[in-house]
Structure formats: C-alpha cells, structure tokens
Amino acid sequence: MATLQDIGVSALINILGAFAFLLAFAFLRIQPINDRVYFPKLYISGGRSSPRRAGNFVGKFVNLNVKTYFTFLNWMPQALKMTEAEIINHAGLDSAVFLRIYTLGLKIFGPITILALLILIPVNVSSGTLFFLRKELVMSDIDKLSISNVRPQSIRFFIHIALEYAFTIWICFMLYKEYDHVALMRLRFLASKRRHAEQFTVVVRNVPHVSGRSVLDTVEQFFQTNHPNTYLCQQAVYNANKFAKLVRKRDRLRNWLDYNQLKFERHPDKRPTRKKGFLGLWGERVDSIEHYKQQMKHLEKNMALERQTILKDSKSILPVSFVSFNSRWGAAVCAQTQQSKNPTLWLTNWAPEPRDIYWRNLAIPFMSLTVRKLIISVSVFALVFFYMIPIAFVQSLANLEGLEKVAPFLRPVIELKFIKSFLQGFLPGLALKIFLYILPTVLLIMSKIEGYIAHSTLERRAAAKYYYFMLVNVFLGSIIAGTAFEQLDAFLHQSPTQIPRTIGVSIPMKATFFITYIMVDGWAGIAGEILRLKPLIIFHLKNMFLVKTERDIERAMDPGSVDFPETLPSLQLYFLLGIVYAVVTPILLPFILVFFAFAYLVYRHQIVNVYNQQYESAAAFWPHVHSRIIASLLISQLLLLGLLSTKEAANSTPLLVILPVLTLSFHKYCKIRFEPAFRKYPLEEAMAKDITDRTAESDVNLKAYLADAYLHPIFRSFEEEQPVEVKVKVEKNKPQTASDRISELSSPSPPHQVNQPSSPPHQVNHPSSPPHYVYHPSSPPQHVYDPSSPSHYAYHYENDIFHAPTPPHYAYHYENEP
C-alpha cells in the first residue's frame, strides 16, 4: 500500500515533469520557426501572416530577444484576457461551454474541499480504528484520514451523512444554475447567428420506394403536397464512397509527387528514382516524378469515369435527401414532427451544418442501423471485459505489499526503496494512461460503424462509450480488482461473515491509486497537452520534406480541435472521483482542484491560440455532462450507503435512503425544464428570427442561397480539373421532373468561362415548372465559410470532411430551350 512518502515521490516526479513541459513550451513557443505550431489560430483568423522575427538569417529560426526568455509564464495572464463573449465570437459556443465545465468543477469542489478538510479529516483521524486492524488489513497513512478509520456503530457517521446532504444540495444548486445559464447561452447564440444553411434544412431518411418514380421525384412530390407553403428545394445524396476513396488516393499521390519535385529542386543534378513494385521494394527502377505523374493522370481518368457513372446510375441516388424550406419556422415544423402514418418512413431531423456531415454513413441503409448498434453494443461490452485483465494487473502494482503475501519470491526486488516508491507512486497511473491512450480512437471507429451522419454526434457517442468504459474499468474495476488483490490473504483466513466488513473498509483505500492517477493524467498529462510535441514533430517533418509554397505550409499547419471523445469522459471521471471521495477520503480533493485550475488555464490558451473547431454544435453535449455528474452523485450516495451498512451504523444509515430519490427527482426536473432547448428549436424563436431577417433583408434570394449548401462532393471539382459547365435546360411547355434534371446533369458540356463569378442568379419564371439552376464552377469551386456572411463554409475534401481556405466562384443561370 502506497504511503505518504510514496505519494510524495509521485507528486515530485509529476510536478517536475509538468514544470519541464512548461519550460519546454515557454522556450519553443517564442521561436519563429515554431510560430505556426503554437499560434495557428492567429494565421487562420488572419491576425498573423508570418512569424515575428529579427531581420537577419538566424532570426528567422531563433528568437534573439533575450527579454522574452524571462517572461516564460506570461502565457497564463494572456490566456485569461479574452472574455467569454469574445471566446464565443473567436472559437464558437462549443469551446466556451467546454471551458465552463472546468470553472464548474472549481465552483463545486472549492467550497467542498474547504469544508471536508476542516471537518472530516479531524473526525476521521481521531477515531483510530485501523490501528487495531493493522494485522488483518493492508493499509497506509492516507487510509487513516478516510472514513475507514471511524469505529463501527460510531455516532460520528451522522457528520458524514450531514455533509453528504450538504454536498449534494450544493452540487445540485450549481448544476441547476449552470444548466439554466448554458441553455440561455445556446438560445442567444442561435438567435444571434447570421443566416446559415442548417437553419433552413432538414435531413430526410428512409424515403420509401415508389414504383416508376425516382427518389428525387418522390421527395419533391411529398413535400410539395405536405408542406406546400414552406417547401423550397431539395438536394439529392449520392453513394460516392468509392469516388471518395479515389480522391484520398489522389491526395496521397500528390504528396509523393510534391516530395519528389522538392527533392529534385534541392538537388537538380540527380533526379529521384524508385522501384515500381510494392512499396518501392522491388521491380524496375523508374523516374519518381514521371511515375507519380502517370499514376495521377491514370487516377484522374478513373475519377472522371466514376463521377459520370454515379451521375448516370439512378441506383446511386440514396433514399436520403436534404430538404430546404423558405423559413426557419417551416424547417422547425418539419424537423420536429412525424411526417407519415408509418413512423419508420420519412424520418426527419435537423440537418447538421455542411462541414459537420460524415458523408460516408449516408450510404448505410436505414434498416441496418438497429443491427449495427446492437453489434457495437455487444462489442463494447466485450471490450470493457477484455480490458479488465490489464487493469487488474495495474492495480496490483499499486499495492505491492498485498502482492508479496501471495508471491513472496518478488520480495527482494520489491523491497528496494527507490523501486518500491517508483512502482507504487508513479507506475500504476502511467501504465493505466498508456492502456487508455488508443481507446478513444477505437471507440470512435465503433461509433462510425453504428451509422451516425454527423461528426458531432459521432464524437458524443464515442465519448459516451469512453465514459462507460472509464466508469466500469478505471473506477469500479480499480476498486474491485484492487480490493481482491490486497485483501486476498485476509479473505482466505477469516470467516465468511467478516468479508463484507473487510470490503467496506477497503474500498476507500483505493484513494491512493486515484491520487497517483490524477497527478499523472491531470498534472503532467495536461502540461504535455500544451507542449504539443506530436504536432510539432509532424509539422517540421512536413516542412522539411513536403512544403514548397505558402499553401503547403498552411496544409502542414494542422491545429486540430478539442478532442471531445477523450477530454469529456476524462473530465467526468474527475467529477466522479471528487464527488465519491469527498466524504470517503477528502484528502483527494486538493489534487482534483489543482487539476481543474491547471487544465482550465491550458485549454483556454489552446482554444484562444491553437484549436480550430471542425464543427459547431451549439453546446449539444451539455445534457450529457449534466447527466453524468448526476450519475456521479448517485454512485457516491450508494457507495456511502454500502460503507455505512458494513460499519453497523443501523441508526444513521436509513437517513441516506431518501437522498438518491431526491437526486433523481432533481434530475428529472432539469431534464424536463432545460433539455428541450438542446433537442428542439422553439417555433417562437424560429418565427421571431424569420421576421427579423425579412425586415433587415427583404430581397434575399433564399433558393439560390441554399442551392449548393449541401451539394454532394461529386459535384465539386478539384484543383487539377478544368472549369466545367453543367447545364440544365428547361423545355417550353413541358414540365421537367427532378429525375430529368439529374439525367441532364450527367451529360458532359463544353468548357465555359465564367466572367463574373459573383453575379447573382437570374431567374426565368415558368408557370409549369420550378426554377432550375445551372452551375458554372470556376477553379476551385469550394464553398467557403465566412463567419460574417451567411451560410458559407470552407471546404476541401479529405477523410469525409470538407476544408478549404479559398473562396468559391459559382454562377447560377436559368435557361430555356426554344
């Protein structure tokens, strides 16, 4: 069992490690050569175009201003300067609410820590019951500060119960205030947003097959019939997964071509070569530049053929559609109501914003989603069970004395003082962190298999799986496995009636392990987050081998975003540990407070200077955060109830029975009161926003505005392609169906130069058919997100995500054929 000395060794190692990371960060961040790694948000927002540096050659790489080296902690006050409103404008509501989770932790645990240390520590220490059990149980000095040290049937348990009530009331009060504030922030954020495509668009899934009609015609007729006053237009969805694979392959070939061209420019006397076989290991040796040019030319031909195949094949149109309306009110009515008497058909929901869509999953048949979710649920259960084995072994390291009683042959090695302190104070937390490193990626892949169509939803589902894993394996698994190992000797040499008492006393003893885990993950781990060592290395490798132009530098500069699938469950684990051990072992609370304060500073700096969020969900994750803090409250109450039952506290234990009931009632009230703001959009708010927009901008052509917002990637040309005109012609006196328009889209047209890409759409009024668009994309036709203008997103296609820094040039023409 780890002693205070072992905890001290662990604290020293982690504090020194964190300080070393901070020193390295302070040194690296002020070097001009690293400017794009530590301040990429400034380049993305236009606040900086080149690193600040001295005029000479050395100054391009190294900061020669000596004074800046003595202000290595100035990043902390700089991170705190920006107000919450400025953070919302700068990084979005998701980032601002994410930071509020850390401040909520400080607000909750600050008063609880002071109260617990001043009251519970003296109560626990003065009891001294573990002194009489020291021969039966493995214990440490920290255990004497816990509830385990209170004698059975002691009247002191009334103090623990009273504080459990006080802590619960305080936590519920803070949760209520925070839920109310975040819900209000969300509604204000949605009301203040400029016009965006997702505000007018719903995604329709499981469109029924109608004999003799295409999916497009079926959708158009259904919505013209059932939403005649608000339906505006639709965007078909194509199964372009094969085409997307070709795009990713082309991007890889382009990277290799760029690398070899740069290599040749640096050494023009020798052209690079490679072997044609697998991975360049065997085969005929050829010129690398010509080899990759030929491969790209061949691949571009395949891409063109694949695009035409998709356009011509009606089977490639999926029973999914993005349907847009002429008002937010109309979209809200459609998204939040049942469309058909058969509840499994015409399923509507709010469309994700275009940059949030995970296009690959739109091709998954809707009826297979239930089976997929069932299979993944079974797989997650198996994964949790499999991980119990290494977790149990890790917990055995936290108590080597307990393992010595079972395996005495390890004693000579274990008894070495430094090794013993290192193993018990540092290694268990580090080993657990390594085990958990790859898990979020695995769980995100599982969520993708389940079939969710938005990146934000995928990340929330992966976060939920990771939370359940942390709850079962890291928390419950650590307690159960640890108790079984360290009390194995006692279990084998005592009567069965004494085992429940032994378990009740031993559960608080795992606080020593969790203290070491908090220091490894929450102190040194957070310091490693700000250092950004992995992005730093990758950036300089790309800069060395791939970068030729300023555009290449921008691509190499990958700021990333807040890793919600990993950070949110980890945060919820810290809430769980703090709430559970607040009454059981309050000495853990100061370590939790240090984590929340330090992590708040680090993530505030990262959000202001580094991270560029991939999407904006308007804090849709908050109900999950609230629910899991409530779950932590329930676990702490049930755990305390079990502990007191083993302490023969028959008089005081019944007082706790009512507390879980009150907590669940509070949760139900919050769910009814606040959660609809995160699940639905009030019609009142939608109508008010529509009226405001019509008053301010009465002449907006909304149909043209929404025409290509959800345009599928196959309609977007890429950098190497020439401008192509795709015409849609409308015959006089003949209505044109949606399927007719798509068949015409698949017909090749001669190149056409758009002289005025910014010219507005021109409409031809035709009494028998709706307006039809003609797209003239010039190079590159990438729809660009401009926060100051409505519904424009930055795209290039990569890994089913759109990104792009260059503005689009779409011209829309309406034409009649005489």
Predicted confidence band of residue 484 (pLDDT cuts 50, 70, 90): very low
Q: Domain containing 608: what range? A: 4-194+366-680
Nearest to 99 by CA among 686, 564, 488: 564
What is the rounded CA–CA span in Å between residue 531 and residue 536?
Answer: 9
Are residues 539 and 397 part of one domain?
yes
Q: Is the pLDDT of residue 302 over 50?
A: yes
Integer CA distances (angstroms), 128 to 148, 420, 649, in order: 9, 27, 17
Cα→Cα distances 723→254, 524, 719, Å: 20, 52, 10
Looking at the fold, whether 241 and 109 belong to one and the same domain comes out as no
Does one domain contain both 303 and 265? yes
**What is the rounded distance in angstroms from the CA atom of residue 656 to the CA atom of residue 586?**
19
The reply to whether 230 and 171 lie within a common domain is no
Which pLDDT belongs to residue 498? 56
pLDDT of 8 higher than 80: no
- The pLDDT assigned to 607 comes to 93
List all residues 6 or more positions away from 294 whose beta carbon is below 8 Å from its beta carbon.
none
Rounded distance between C-alpha atoms, residue 577 and residue 112, angstroms: 13
| 3-state DSSP assignment of residue 379 | helix
641, 585 in Cβ contact below 8 A?
no
- Please indicate whether residue 538 or residue 672 has the higher confidence score (pLDDT): 672
Q: What integer pLDDT is reported at residue 755 of this predicted model?
A: 37
- Is 352 exposed, middle or buried, given 0-12, 13-18 or 19+ CB atoms closer than 10 A? buried
Report whether pLDDT(404) > 80. no
Domain identity same for 403 and 313: no
From 660, 680, 700, the end of a domain falls on: 680
Indicate whether 135 belongs to any domain: yes
- In eight-state DSSP terms, residue 679 is H
Note whether 608 and 91 are within 8 A (CB).
Answer: yes
- Whether 705 is in a domain gets the answer no
pLDDT tens-digit readout, 770-811: 333 333 333 333 333 333 333 333 334 444 444 433 333 333
Residue with more model confidence, 224 or 739: 224
Shared-domain flag, residues 593 and 658: yes
Angle between helices 439-450 and 455-469 (to 10 degrees): 130
The pLDDT confidence band at residue 600, using thresholds 50, 70 and 90, is very high
Q: Residues 319, 388: one domain?
A: no
Amino acid at 299: L
Ranked by mean pLDDT, the top range of 303-312, 542-551, 675-684 is 675-684
| C-beta of residue 147 within 8 angstroms of C-beta of residue 508 | yes
Q: Is the pLDDT of residue 423 over 80?
A: no
Are 75 and 21 in contact, with CB atoms under 8 Å apart? no
> Are 224 and 259 in a shared domain?
yes
- Total length of the chain: 818
pLDDT, greater one: 258 or 680 = 680
**In this predicted structure, what is the pLDDT of residue 266?**
79
Taking CA atoms, 24 is separated from 64, 454, 532, 731, in Å, by 17, 37, 10, 69
Lowest-confidence pick of 202-211, 307-316, 515-524:
307-316
Q: Using an 8 Å Cβ cutoff, are 146 and 125 in contact?
A: no
Q: Which residues of 124-152 are buried (b: 16+ CB within 10 A; e: fewer)?
A: beebebbeebeebbbbbbbbbbbbbbbee
Q: How far apart are CA 73 and CA 245, in angstroms?
A: 46
Return the number of other C-beta atoms located less than 10 Å from residue 664's C-beta: 13
Same domain, 383 and 340: no
Residue 412 lies in a domain: yes
Average pLDDT over residues 707-729: 54
103 domain residue, yes or no: yes
Among 680, 711, 738, where does a domain finish? 680
Q: Would you state the pLDDT for residue 771?
A: 34
Q: Is residue 243's pLDDT more than 50?
A: yes
Question: Is the pLDDT reported for residue 448 higher than 70?
Answer: yes
* Same domain for 318 and 262: yes
Question: Which pLDDT value is given to residue 136?
Answer: 47
Does residue 778 sit within a domain?
A: no
Average pLDDT over residues 378-407: 67
Cβ-proximal residues to 65 (8 Å cutoff; 6+ apart), any chain:
54
pLDDT at 425 over 80: no
Dump the DSSP string for 577-598.
HHHHHHHH-GGGHHHHHHHHHH
Q: Name which of 246, 382, 239 is nearest 305 in CA terms.
A: 246
Mean pLDDT calculated for residue range 268-296 = 83
Burial class of residue 73, CB neighbours in 10 A (0-12, 13-18, 19+): exposed
Instruction: Indicate the helix (H) or strand (E) that contains 107.
Output: helix 93-125
User: pLDDT: is 450 or 651 the higher one?
Assistant: 450
Residues 508, 379 share a domain: yes
Q: Model pTM?
A: 0.78
CA-CA distance, 791 to 446, in Å (whole number)?
Answer: 31
Residue bearing the bigger pLDDT, 734 or 510: 510
Cβ neighbors of 439 (< 8 A, separation 6 or more) are 387, 466, 469
If you average pLDDT over every residue of the chain, what do you get? 77
Residue 427 has pLDDT above 70, yes or no: no
For residue 430, name the pLDDT band (cuts at 50, 70, 90).
low
Place of tokens 């000479």: 56
Report yes or no: 6 and 421 within 8 Å, Cβ to Cβ.
yes
The two structure tokens encoding residue 150: 């209170």
Does residue 520 carry a pLDDT above 50?
A: yes
One-letter amino acid of 410: L
Could you tell me if residue 731 is inside a domain? no
Q: Are residues 130 and 276 in the same domain?
A: no
Q: Is residue 295 part of a domain?
A: yes
Looking at 645, 663, 680, the residue that finishes a domain is 680
- Mean predicted confidence (pLDDT) in 61-68: 72
> Residue written as tokens 């950098």?
719
- The predicted pLDDT at position 738 comes to 45
Name every residue whose Cβ is closer than 8 Å to that of residue 675 and which is 6 or more positions away in sequence. Answer: 623
- Alpha helices by DSSP H, 617-698: 622-646, 658-674, 676-679, 683-696
Nearest of 592, 399, 656, 432 to residue 509 by alpha carbon: 399
If you average pLDDT over residues 763-771, what whole number do you get?
35
Whether residue 571 is predicted with pLDDT greater than 90 in this model: the reply is: yes
Tens of pLDDT along 147-191?
A: 877 787 788 888 989 999 999 999 999 999 999 999 999 999 988
* Domain count along the chain: 2
Written as one string, the DSSP assignment of 17-53 is HHHHHHHHHHHHHTSGGGHHHH-HHHHHTTS-SS---
Q: How far apart are CA 66 and CA 62, in angstroms?
A: 11
Query: In this structure, is residue 805 part of a structural domain?
Result: no
pLDDT at 276: 79
Among 384, 520, 512, 495, CA closest to 446: 384
**CA torsion, points 430, 431, 434, 439, in degrees to nearest 10?**
-120
Mean pLDDT is lowest, of 300-304, 405-409, 605-609, for 405-409
Quick one: average pLDDT of 466-471? Answer: 90
Higher pLDDT, 806 or 452: 452
Structure tokens at 463: 């976060």
* Proportion of the chain in helix, strand, coil states, percent, rounded to 5: 65, 5, 30
Instruction: Please tell me the least confidently modeled range out of 5-19, 222-236, 486-500.
Output: 486-500
Return the pLDDT at 265: 82
pLDDT > 70: percent of the chain: 72
More confident residue, 463 or 544: 463
